[in-house]
Chain A
Amino acid sequence: MAPILEVRNLTHVYSAGTPFEHRAVDDMSFSVQRGEFIGIIGHTGSGKSTLMQHLNGLLKPTSGQVLLDGVDIHSDKKFTRQARFRVGLVFQYPEYQLFEETVYKDIAFGPKNMGLKAEEIDRRVREAAKLVGLTDAQLEVSPFDLSGGQKRRVAIAGVIAMEPEVLILDEPTAGLDPASRAGILENIETYRKTKNATIMMVSHSMNDVARLTERLLVLSGSKLAMDGTPAQVFTRADELLDMGLDIPDVTRVFLRLKQLGLPLEPVYTIEQAVAAVKKLKEGK
């Protein structure tokens, strides 16, 4: 199948030719299929944010290409504009960007800019709001009257209402309590399923990416250091720790059990751990 998004030898250098020159993304290449759920992990300054901002054309590569449906998004202004809508970006702490009088107007901002008809905007606002668990009554209140977790949902709904084929989120659960965190992650997964959308999620929570994603891109020192399933990535525990990252706690427990001599394969979620223990018990 042709990939929805393709990154070819992407390099980005900030302040080129000055003493502050910094190569933030260095020769990264990967491609992404429709419907994939990808986690992006990497230490602070590894290039995650710079990479993200290339994927919908906010930044222009110093060299290399970003292709959306096989077309270079910078080959024509028309394609760059399309990329803005087809690839949705949710930044860190997106609730700081809320500004409208009502939740409804805030969510409608993106679709309105796309030049859609009023009925279509209305359909999208209501659908996006429903998906993130906001009620009709909440659509009419000021976003500033909502709790932190709810504000975050409004901000995410605003991007979802543009119905992007690729949804990219930068730490969508930072600063939220465990229940809100679980709720937002579930909303994202629902969006992926209903629209067959591609999700790329930057996260510092190894537990979250292990549970949700099918594939991990590991960035380190401006390079793409690993690209594989969570199982493949988390077996390289020592390398991850060297990169300033971590492994899920259950993985650590099971690696130790294996060391102690139990015939257990590495796991990275609690569900897998439970399944592995069941299997071990039945095997006896």
Chain B
Amino acid sequence: MTEVIAHRGFHGPSNEEAIEAIHNELDALWDDASFVPDMDRMTFATAVIEAAANIVQHALPVAEKPVEIDVDISVQPTRLVARVSAHHAREPFADDMQASMPDSEAESGRGLALIEALVTTVTFERQDGTNTWILTRDT
């Protein structure tokens, strides 16, 4: 099994407070894993926040239950891994999955392109009403 050196998580309603709470967990994670270089912290934290913000801004509930966000971040010996999930969520619209950088006048639509530029792998999974982004960055 892969060794996990440090781990943090968050689970709660998909809203603005979740974004701040997830960011605080990321900061706490680096306190627990001080050997992670600044460049890796910066890039990975940005990607995790972008993925979480994408859920808060775009994920729609599949039925009456509101969307919940779940984040699980771990530091492994040679990589960082985050699972960012939207529970009780509909499948994302193709427009929200646009991964190319828009023109310089655009005020939105850069999130996914930015995530792809920041991490080593991005995987999207959908299972039982849960959308999950798995982000990894080799360190």
- A and B part of one assembly: no
